[in-house]
Structure 1
Amino acid sequence: MAADVLVVGAGPVGLLLAGDLAEAGVAVTVLERRTTGSNLTRAFGVHARTLEHLDVRGVADELIATGMPLRELRLFDRVALDLAKLPSRYGYLLVTPQTHTEDVLRARAERLGAKFGWGADVRALTQDDSGVDVTTADGQRYHSRYLVGADGVRSVVRDQVGLSFPGRSVLKSIMLADVRLAEPPEDLLVVNGVGDGFAFVAPFGDGFYRVFAWDRRHQVPDDAPLELEEVRDITRRSLGTDLGMREARWMSRFHSDERQAPHYRVGRVFLAGDAAHVHSPAGGQGMNTGLQDAANLSWKLAEVLAGRLPESLLDTYETERHPIGRLVLRSSGAIIRLAMIKPLLLREARNRVLGAAVSVPPLGRRASGMISGVGLRYAPPAGADRLVGARAADRPLPGGRLYELLRGGRFVYIGPRRPATLPDHVVFARGSGEVLVRPDAHVGWVGDPAGYFAR
């Protein structure tokens, strides 16, 4: 079976990538070892920059309808970030279970023509100058020009290309429980740490709540039995109440790692999402970082496969996304370590110092921008204008908003006059400056766009 691109993994990252490629006319097949979509939710927050990427794809409103906006993100006892002031139309964290994100992205990918191989358990892959060959557990063989491993923290793709995954476990024996609450919290999200542990509570929207809890005093293997009373106990100590926790429909344990692959590309094979990097759950940045990986890579594959830009463009995926992954790993790690401070006096000092810091507008904006992704940018190439690599904020333009004009994987050139020659997939919008906006809503070029496509 042949395809232009094989995507291994039908989680959020693989689904967004597959939908983008299918929309660009690329023959894409998603291989997933599961036989159906996932019912496991770990991510509950969709940040502003991810919502902007979904807006570009025309599905942001559909996902927003499944959740609730949180305009203040509380990190510690009295330390909170004001997301309402973000320079984005999405000045909030959308609280919605990961399964809803997957449902929206899967429907889009299917609608656009992506093919799915459910029950395809990838076991081996080889590559050469002509492409990548994959063999599954049942002996099926697939061939593609490129392959993307979006197959999670235990990535078979990463192992097959010989990449290490250095790092360490940050938290062991995190408890997960889906429960009903007799006394639902007033706030949309509730989280607090008390030195010996923490608890996090978020709504599914169907009457059940997901509880994440960790107890420093009782760390056991992931496969150790879990009783609801253990979750109740640490929740009471962390929040002052167990919220009337009852009727658990599912419980489990997992451990949280901080790891990053040394490379995101090996020949014709790329890594994205948890296959490339995993972070602590602090700040809710894991799934969001992966989706932003996909938004960066998809248009580059499409351009190269269409012959519009050189193959060397694909190297910029690692150049741009690896530093972002490293930054998120460090920032989320810092948050979780601060949350785990045990001595009471140190926790109080943390709250005073950080609370005062984020109340200073420039510092608060920087922290909110980093966690939400709105403040992240890519370094400009040597000799390029300083605007290259910056996030292109949405704005009204003749013919519609910028993000609407980007839909379909198009570029948008904003300038005082239409150039003499402009590729068919570049939309011209009259405006000040001479800026070419890439399909992932970052500035790609300043000046005549012909220079960008003539590289």
Structure 2
Amino acid sequence: MNGTAHDSSRSVIVVGSGPTGLLLAGDLAAAGVPVTLVEKRPHKISNLSRAFVVHARTLEQLDARGVADDIEAKGRPLDRLRLFGNLSIELTGLPTRFDHLLVIPQYEVEQVLERRAVDAGVTFSHETEVTGLTQDADGVTLRVRRADGSTDLLRAAYVVGTDGMRSSVREAVGLPFPGKSVIRSVVLADVRLAEEPENLLTVSAVGDAFAFIAPFGDGYYRVIGWNRSRDVADSEPLDLDEIKEIARLALGRDYGMHDARWMSRFHSDERQAPAYRVGRVLLAGDAAHVHTPAGGQGMNTGLQDAANLGWKLAAVVTGRAGDALLDTYQTERHAVGKAVLRSSGGIVRLAMAKYPWTLAARAALTGFLGRVRPARNKVIGNVTGLGFRYAAPKGAHRLTGTRVPDVLLGDGVRLYEALRAGEFVLILPRGTAYEDARVKVAHWASERRTALLVRPDGYVAWAGELAENRGVNSTDFPAEFATYSLR
């Protein structure tokens, strides 16, 4: 064994350097927490990712970190998302400055988040594989294997597993990953096309076949396809002719696919860990939940997990909040993960409807959503992430737990610019003073009389309606947030 166990009571180890791990590690380091990001792969940004869509709520979270504009510059906006059959959702009316979805390969998002993490001071440990884990009342010890085969012990106050569907961290704490494979023998390929598709995202399902085409931006396109009638093992050989056949079945043409630089098979699962926290070990992203690709919600849900967990974990590690604050991560994000499982699963099942009764159900639902705006808005809110809200205590203001839009504040600064400090923002009516200067105070640009205590992740921690000449006191705030927000 090389090295000895070292105790670091104020540090965190994040395992897995995908988008979720990079965002979380960057948030922790920016908050002053020593953080090590452990990754078993060599240091490189892979183009083998399956995610190609960044939704509006994720873009808002990235805006709160000052990197949304960089990512927007690398992607291509799309104002409509097709879900199944003839149903597509219009995004231009979304209540956000990001009234679109962004088509961008996952590795481009990872590059931006890695630069941020490096700048924030994250320590990277590549080619380091987790082989065991123990925890006690004071921290967590990881046993790892280095690239040369030597072993080592790493110690931290908390460990977060963001290491994907086959999470070593999740397995080490004994958490099951119940669920099932929904789609087997999905094919993927990176190809050149002789004919450019008419749409930025090309997707359709006909009979037993489904196909999706998205651009990398470098002349290559990612193709994802599935033929229900060809259910084979992931190890079965794959050639370009099979991919072209699926495209012709689903899309009516193969766009002259040629020069494949990579091809593979995989199976799509629906799974969710029963708990996202076991003592001092937490899970986020695909280590906690995996979904079908339908709706492009997988990577987005993981990034939003990180946005929820980062400020809470930083507050606990630095002594600004009690350990119980981490229980709210489990409560809030497990419910969202479950909702995403339902919505993405429902989309893929409707997209692949085959029997007369399932086709009739899809047609009826498409017509209903086309006619009934509240129902359509519910679907849009779930897919884009804008509609999720967290549970509020009984008797709380109706806004508690809801997402706050990127409002313009009285000093001309947008809310999500104000959130870049990683702190709570207290928005007050004009002319209202706050007795304690230790919290960041802003004022409405309008005559609104609602006071909002906005969490670092952009959700309402507390709200109240203020009469003229009434101020706010820290005792108004929920106990679990008061210590942190008034540091």
> Normalised by the size of structure 1, how large is the TM-score?
0.97
Equivalent position of 1:436 in the other structure: 453
Match of 2:15 among 1, 8, 23: 8
In 1, Cα distance between the equivalents of 2:376 and 2:217? 30
Q: Which of residues 70, 80, 101 in structure 2 aligns to 1:72?
A: 80
In the TM superposition, 1:385-404 aligns within 5 A as 385-399=397-411, 400-404=413-417
Distance 1:322 1:449 in 2: 32
Q: Distance in 2 between matches of 1:267 and 1:346?
A: 44
- 1:129 is the counterpart of 2:137: yes
- 2:28 — aligned with what? 21
Give, as a single letter, the amino acid of the residue that structure 2 aligns with 1:408.
A
Cα distance in 2, alignment partners of residues 449 and 391 from structure 1: 23
1:259-270 matches, within 5 Å, as 259-270=271-282
Tell me, which stretches of 5 or more residues in structure 2 are unaligned?
Answer: 1-5, 465-471
Q: CA RMSD in A?
A: 1.5
What's the counterpart of residue 394 of structure 2? 382
Deviation at 1:128, TM superposition (A): 0.3
Name the CA distance, whole Å, in 1 between partners of 2:30 and 2:111: 17
User: 1:172 and 2:180 equivalent?
Assistant: no
How much identity, in percent, do the aligned residues show?
Answer: 55
Distance apart, 1:20 and its partner CA = 0.5
Post-superposition CA distance 1:162-183 (Å, at most 9, x none): 1000000000010000000001
Is structure 2 residue 115 aligned with structure 1 residue 100? no
Q: Distance in 2 between matches of 1:61 and 1:327?
A: 29
Which 10-residue stretch deviates more, 343-352 or 227-236?
Answer: 343-352
Find out whether 1:181 has 2:193 as its counterpart: yes
Shift of 1:86: 1.0
Give, in whole Å, the separation in 2 of the partners of 1:385 and 1:31.
41
Aligned with residue 414 of structure 1, among 418, 427, 440: 427
Contact 1:438–1:444, Cα closer than 8 Å, also in 2: yes
**How many Å separate the matches in 2 of 1:268 and 1:382?**
29
SS at match of 2:26: helix
- Three-state SS of the structure 1 residue aligned to 2:421 is coil
Structure 1 position 119 matched with structure 2 position 127: yes
Distance 2:371 2:195 in 1: 32
Which amino acid is the alignment partner of residue 274 of structure 1? Answer: D
Q: Contact 1:201 / 1:209 at 8 angstroms: preserved in 2?
A: yes
Gaps of 5+ in 1: none
Shift of 1:422: 3.5
Instruction: State the match for 1:89 in structure 2.
Output: 97
Checking the alignment, whether the CA contact within 8 Å between 2:350 and 2:358 is kept in structure 1 is no
Q: Secondary structure at 1:396's aligned position in 2?
A: coil
1:303 partnered with 2:315: yes
Q: For residue 291 of structure 2, what is the aligned residue in structure 1?
A: 279
TM-score, normalised with respect to structure 2: 0.90
Of residues 38, 42, 45 in structure 2, which corresponds to 1:35?
Answer: 42
Give a deviation string over 1:49-82, Cα, whole Å, max 9, x none. Answer: 0000000000001001111111110112311011
Structure 1 residues 449 and 9: CA distance shift in structure 2, 3 A: farther
Matched letter for residue 421 of structure 1: D
Task: Encode CA deviations 1:267-325: one digit per residue, 9 max, x unaligned.
Answer: 00000000000001100000000000000000001111222222111110001000100
Change (3 A) 1:319 1:229: same
CA–CA distance in 2 between the matches of 1:351 and 1:69? Answer: 28
Alpha-carbon distance in 2 for matches of 1:191, 1:394: 32
Counterpart code for 1:364 = R
Q: Find the aligned partners of 1:105 and 1:21 in 2 and give their Cα distance.
A: 13
Q: How many residue pairs align between the two structures? A: 453
